[in-house]
Amino acid sequence: MTTTSPYTGTERYKAPELFISAENRRPVATFEGDIYSLGCIILEIIEQICPFGQFTKGYELREAIMDGYSPALRKESTGALHNLTEYLWNLLEACWLEPSDRPNVDVVVDALRSFAGNHPPLSQ
């Protein structure tokens, strides 16, 4: 995907600002949108929680995302990460902030490296 493409991603992983709306007729993919999506992917891989999993109908999903619902809540945590769950959730929630408040990719990479360095592999 490039910033010149009209394609802006799979809805369940797509940042709210990338949906077509009355205020935003031509959304453009951005690095900030990619960070939001990366947070959703990390959520699914590490916590095994599907982003917006409680929404099964497309229109409900779009509405929830555009209304600013979080892809998941801490209380949905599987607990698979034990004492690092708090650390990971802080990172995920930062990825889902308003675009200008999201961390850049270097911050996310550093956080994931720190996480990986302080946690044994999830499976052998």
CATH of residue 56: 1.10.510.10
pLDDT of residue 61: 94
> Does position 31 have pLDDT exceeding 80, yes or no?
yes
Has residue 110 been placed in a domain? no
Domains of the chain: total: 1
Please check whether residue 2 lies inside any domain of the structure. Answer: no
Question: Is residue 86 domain-resident?
Answer: yes
What's the CA gap between 56 and 104, in Å, rounded? Answer: 31
Residue 114 falls inside a structural domain: no
pLDDT at 81: 60
Mean pLDDT of 80-95: 80
**What is the domain range of residue 53?**
11-99
- What value does the mean pLDDT of the chain take? 85
In a domain, 26, yes or no: yes
Classify 72 in phi/psi space as left (phi over 0), alpha (psi -120 to 50) or beta: beta
Angle of the 85-95 helix axis to the 105-117 helix axis, nearest 10: 170
Q: Is the pLDDT of residue 122 over 70?
A: no
Q: What is the pTM of this model?
A: 0.82
Q: How does residue 8 score in pLDDT terms, banded at 50, 70 and 90?
A: low
